[in-house]
Amino acid sequence: MTRTVWDSTVGKKTVMAVSGLIMLMYLVVHMLGNLKIFFGSGEFNHYAHWLRTLGEPFLHYEWALWIIRVVLVLAVVAHATAAYQLSRRDIRARPNKYVHKKPRSSYATRTMRWGGIILGLFIVWHILDLTTGTAHPGGFQAGHPYQNVIDTFSTWYGDVIYIVAMLALGLHIRHGFWSAAQTLGAGSRTRDRALKTIADVLALVLTLGFISVPVGVMTGLVS
């Protein structure tokens, strides 16, 4: 039964929708946590420590954080796999170009695939930079996330990579939220306008919220 659902186009779109919403919920929480950097190093570092002690004493140190990471990895893999397979299926279904051009779609729609690739590469860089410290530009300090963030956004390439990725994220969310709502049956004539507005607001708020951190470092507001 599970295999049958996964093999169907509807099943893959549903997997994309659900995994996308899981990642969206994480992004909202992650952005709010990032904004704590504007309240100083003590507040930001304390928040990072709290994430590692979340669930204690029922859960051991960092267990909750690792559970979140595993869920996110599964969501990313499921989302990317379904997207790739749907893309291949779409190409096989229409190997020849249309004689007449299709109606012009939105910029976000036409760049969803490239946006997904950009975000995938960004996730790898982001982990290597601020989680493992492998690609960190300064002397990575475990347990001192505030200083690590300052180090990253004190480099021009750290700012460029992050800002470009967040702009791609905004476009991805704008179209992805709308698509997920349609796939899960939330769309209707009366709700479509509200759903589009929610998609626009979510994309704008998340994009500006995330970008505000490197901008804060560049302008000296965060130092």
pLDDT for 33: 96
- pLDDT, tens digit, 9 for 90 and up, residues 166-200: 999 999 999 999 889 888 888 777 888 889 999 99
CATH topology for the 9-219 domain = 3 helical TM bundles of succinate and fumarate reductases (1.20.1300)
Whether residue 151 contacts residue 145, with contact meaning beta carbons closer than 8 Å, is answered with no
pLDDT for 107: 54
What pLDDT band is residue 90 in, cutting at 50, 70 and 90? Answer: confident
* Better pLDDT: 6 or 100: 6
Domain residue limits, the chain: 9-219
Cis peptide upstream of residue 103 (ω within 30 degrees of 0): no
pTM of the model: 0.88
- pLDDT, tens digit, 9 for 90 and up, residues 32-66: 999 999 999 999 999 999 999 999 999 999 999 99
Closest among 175, 145, 146, 149 to 162, alpha carbons compared:
149
- Mean pLDDT over residues 116-144, rounded? 92
pLDDT for 1: 65
pLDDT for 25: 96
pLDDT for 197: 92
- CA-to-CA separations, 198 to 80, 170, 173, 208, 220, in angstroms, rounded: 24, 13, 10, 15, 32
pLDDT at 9 over 90: no
Q: Which residues, at least 6 apart from 51, have a Cβ–Cβ distance to it below 8 Å?
A: 33, 64, 65
What pLDDT band is residue 96 in, cutting at 50, 70 and 90? Answer: low
pLDDT for 97: 54
* Better pLDDT: 192 or 202: 202
Closest among 59, 30, 37 to 147, alpha carbons compared:
37
- Mean pLDDT over residues 25-33, rounded? 97
Q: What is the DSSP string of 138-151?
A: S---TT-HHHHHHH
pLDDT for 108: 53
- Mean pLDDT over residues 110-131, rounded? 89
Q: How many CB atoms lie within 10 A of CB 126?
A: 16
Closest among 76, 105, 108, 71 to 202, alpha carbons compared:
108
Alpha carbons 16 and 9: distance in angstroms, whole number: 11
